[in-house]
Structure 1
Amino acid sequence: MQKTAKEYIIFPLDFPSMAAAESHIRQLDGRVGMFKIGLELFIRQGPAVVKMVKKMSSAGIFLDLKLHDISATVGRAMARVSDLGVELVTVHGASSQKMLGAAVENAGKTKVLAVTLLTDNDADTVRAQGFKDEYVRAPEKLVLLRTGMALEAGCAGVVCSGQETAMLKAQFGKRCLTVTPGIRPQWHLTPGDDQKRIVTPAKAVQAGSDYLVIGRPIRDADDPARAAEKVAGEIEAGLSGSAM
């Protein structure tokens, strides 16, 4: 069964307080497919924020912790994540296949996603990290390499830029779940954005992205609920092929 346009949207609860998160959940419940809980709110509130989201909404929960440590530590941490009953959780794809495997083995029903290359990273960042010239010239090759490793370790998919989604779908097919941050609607494209590899919602779903993480365009709007509906409209247009 194909998802509706709104079910593609993951809204990040990137707020310093529970009150701010609660306010946006009330406004966006029924208008987005998942709520993402990141490091800022989880460090401040812990598992209580997961319970709060479950109490207030039937939307899925994406726990974006980007775990990155030795395999044994990540395995134990993932076992505790499994107890929370969230749908998705992230680990860093820059680590070893052994660590990725430990995460998957201890995740239970929670799907593990590997972060391939952060969307504020570009060729200059890859060069500064000491990678070979072939990855500096084409950072998408690094994304492809890390995705293959993650899938071999049993991960459900990856977090990647919309600029790489089509390549990953062509290489790995539907078995690679793709979650795409760095989404900017046509009406929210601004110069100097700190995200380097951005795409519109329509282009992301046309490329094959399974979920879109959309924060600022909704959060910063005067009417977040209306902004979410506008984003869903762009997604719907992309799915129908009427937008590029």
Structure 2
Amino acid sequence: MTDDRLIVPLDFPDVLQGLDMARKLGDACGFYKIGLEMLMSGGLALARELIDEHGKRIFLDMKLFDIPNTIEGAVRNLSGYGLDFLTVHGDPHVVRAAAEGKGASKLQILAVTILTALDRADLDEALIAPGAVEDIVVERARRAFLAGADGVISSPREAAMIRALPEAAGKLIVTPGVRPSGAALG
């Protein structure tokens, strides 16, 4: 039995490398993340194969951001794939549209509050609200939950603060890219 709290990212430039990794891991992994780069090289076909032929769970990391009608339609189309998680930007209008688009499917919408790679200087350059990054992340998580998000993507730094929100009760907090201290990056 695999631990579905561990999601292995298939962060490769092409689908064949992702399929090779999934085959090598076999029954040791039951949950995979497919990101935007792989999506552009056949990632949806890989997702379908991993779900239909291998019984795997899939987290589609697209970070969708568009007008509500487009988000709703895109998520409606994706909801037929049997995916487990889909990321969207955490703006309330995006989250509301995604929640509407998923309908009664099992797809869970995860909101990205602030990209974990951004710092205060990046937010200033993008004209995002002043203040501590952690405070902005927590407030955006609260608003995403109120808009209908099933969970949020968060760095480990903010996870406990988000979990303390009353709006976070029963919601998912997914922390990507967690590495043990001293682990090599790359």
Q: Which residue of 2 aligns with 1:141?
A: 135
Q: Which residue of 2 aligns with 1:170?
A: 164
Q: Secondary structure at the match of 1:36?
A: strand
Name structure 2 gaps, 5 residues minimum: none
1:100 to 87, 90, 95: 95
1:62-101 equivalences under 5 Å are: 62-93=59-90, 95=91, 97-101=92-96
Structure 1 segments unaligned to the other structure (5+ residues):
191-215, 217-244
Correspondence for 2:27: 30
Question: Retained in 1: the 8 A contact 2:15–2:43?
Answer: no
Residue identity over aligned pairs, in percent, reads 35
Tell me if structure 2 keeps the 8 A contact 1:30–1:59: no
Q: Tell me, yes or no, if the aligned pair for 2:79 and 2:107 is still in contact at 8 Å.
A: yes
Higher RCO (CA < 8 A, seq sep 6+): 1
Matched residue of 1:86: which SS?
A: coil
Contact 2:72 2:97 survives alignment (8 Å): yes
CA distance in 2, matches of 1:5, 1:61: 14
Which residue is equivalent to 1:12? Answer: 9
**Structure number having the greater helix percentage:** 1
Q: Partners of 2:32 and 2:99 in 1: how far apart? A: 22
Over the residues paired in the alignment, what is the CA RMSD in angstroms?
1.9
Matched residue pairs, number?
Answer: 183
Aligned pairs for 1:90-239 (under 5 A) are 90-93=87-90, 95=91, 97-107=92-102, 108-134=105-131, 138-172=132-166, 173-189=168-184, 216=186
Please give the alpha-carbon distance, in whole angstroms, between the structure 2 residues aligned to 1:91 and 1:48. 20
Q: Deviations over 1:119-175 (max 9, x none)?
A: 1111221222223432xxx10111111111111111101011010001111114442
Q: Which stretch of structure 1 is more off in the superposition, 147-156 or 52-61?
A: 52-61
Please list the CA deviations of residues 92-134 of structure 1 after superposition, one character each: whole Å capped at 9, or x if unmatched.
Answer: 11x3x22211110111320000001111111221222223432
d(CA) in 1 for partners of 2:182, 2:55 = 29
